[in-house]
Amino acid sequence: MEFGPHLLLATLEGAVGAAVLALTALGLSLVFGVMRVVNVAHGEFYMLGAVVAWFVASTLGSAPATGFVAALLIAPVCAAVVAMAADRLVLKRLHYDPEATIVATIGILYIMQQTALMGFGPEARPVAPPFNTRIALPWVEWGENGLALFYPWGLSTTSYKLFVIAAAAAILIGFALFLSRSRFGLIMRATQLDRETALAFGIPVERVYSLVFGLGAALAAFAAVLIVPIQQAHYLMGADPLLLSFIVVIIGGLGSLRGTVVAALLIGMSDGIISVFFSPTLAKILATLLVALVLVFRPQGLYGKKRA
């Protein structure tokens, strides 16, 4: 394949990855920003979303679209409920101590992963996309009669992949509005800024924590429902998004929405493009190198605020 079409294909693939990564990383960033909890189990909520999506879609059976829409509504709620229960039963009892919660969420990670293995099984299971038309993309070429359109072999995407990008963008915009315009958004920002003062002003901080932890898990689950018609639900699928989310959150700045989105685009796109033209290993090396550089030269992240 020539360079131009190849690059376009890589960009499209990268954009799908970036869209899903942005949602997942946003959940992680939110939880850390508000609660100061490093949620190592975040990837498992992503996995839970995918597994529930498979369960819902295969139980409803009938048309793929109904199952998918139902999964889109039910899976994030399920993940949120599990996360809130984990918050009440575990994190709250540790008084949100930063070190203890890391260890506790590692435990939650294993419990969720092994429960999925026992209940869901070791296979990768597919969910049918609600719609999936292959769209062949044209490319321009300077031919004998001037500019001409042609369809290179393999240069294509699917309507569903474009939908994933659009849906993720819509959720991100909606979330930004929710954070800046709604009352709960205000409360979350207040809690993030100063826990003690928020408490003094009568904000039920512990309830906010529960909701935030649930919301973070719901975002991851939502991302997973979007991706599961492209990749399958599998009990080990949480590892990759967890690692990439950490990278994104560190580069973007912990707790910064804008930073998370920018970093997700950067990492997702570069992963797509570099792994096409060079090797996937090099993409991972560069992402990790970027993390190191950010940590050295801008420890608060690209968009993070320096702590006073």
Does 107 bind another protein (CB under 8 A)? Our answer is: no
Q: Whose Cβ is closer to another protein: residue 212's or residue 274's?
A: 274
Burial pattern 93-107, b for ≥16 Cβ within 10 A else e, equals eeebeeeebeebbee
Which of 39, 158, 191, 245 lies at the binding interface for another protein (CB under 8 A)?
A: 158
Which of 98, 143, 154, 204 lies at the binding interface for another protein (CB under 8 A)?
A: 154
State in angstroms the smallest separation of the CB of 172 from another protein.
21
State in angstroms the smallest separation of the CB of 268 from another protein.
11
Does 126 bind another protein (CB under 8 A)? Our answer is: yes
Q: Whose Cβ is closer to another protein: residue 197's or residue 279's?
A: 279
Does 248 bind another protein (CB under 8 A)? Our answer is: no
Does 44 bind another protein (CB under 8 A)? Our answer is: no
Structure tokens at 194: 């100063």
Among the candidate windows 27-35, 97-105, 123-131, 166-174, which touches another protein by CB under 8 A? 123-131
Does 281 bind another protein (CB under 8 A)? Our answer is: yes
Does 176 bind another protein (CB under 8 A)? Our answer is: no
Which of 76, 238, 259, 272 lies at the binding interface for another protein (CB under 8 A)?
A: 272
Does 259 bind another protein (CB under 8 A)? Our answer is: no
Residue 231, classed as helix, strand or coil, is coil
- Residue 149: φ, ψ to 5°: -90, 140
Task: Round to whole Å and give the CA distance between 241 and 234.
Answer: 13
Does 236 bind another protein (CB under 8 A)? Our answer is: yes
Does 295 bind another protein (CB under 8 A)? Our answer is: no
State in angstroms the smallest separation of the CB of 46 from another protein.
12
Helix residue ranges, H only, the chain: 3-35, 42-60, 64-86, 98-119, 159-181, 183-193, 195-200, 205-227, 239-252, 257-277, 280-297
* Alpha carbons within 13 A on the beta-carbon side of 282: 9
Structure tokens at 51: 């597994």
Does 136 bind another protein (CB under 8 A)? Our answer is: yes
Task: Round to whole Å and give the CA distance between 93 and 101.
Answer: 10
Of residues 64 through 103, those in contact with another protein by CB under 8 A are 64
**Residue 98 amino acid letter:** P
Structure tokens at 234: 């599998």
Which of 60, 137, 189, 231 lies at the binding interface for another protein (CB under 8 A)?
A: 231
Which of 48, 198, 276, 287 lies at the binding interface for another protein (CB under 8 A)?
A: 276
**Beta carbons of 23 and 222 less than 8 angstroms apart:** yes
Q: Scanning the structure block, which residue is given the tokens 């070429």?
A: 141
Q: How many residues bind another protein (CB under 8 A)?
A: 36
Q: What angle do CA 173, 179, 181 make, to 5 degrees?
A: 95
Which residues are CB-contacts of 37 (< 8 A; sequence separation ≥ 6)? Answer: 31, 91, 96, 98, 101, 105, 213
Checking DSSP bridges between strand 156-158 and strand 134-136, what pairing results, if any?
antiparallel
State in angstroms the smallest separation of the CB of 226 from another protein.
14
Q: Whose Cβ is closer to another protein: residue 128's or residue 176's?
A: 128
Length of the chain: 308
Task: Round to whole Å and give the CA distance between 225 and 73.
Answer: 9
Does 106 bind another protein (CB under 8 A)? Our answer is: no
Residues interacting with another protein, by CB under 8 A?
A: 1, 5-6, 9-10, 13, 17, 64, 117, 121-124, 126, 128-129, 132, 134, 136, 153-154, 156, 158, 230-232, 234-237, 240, 272, 275-276, 280-281
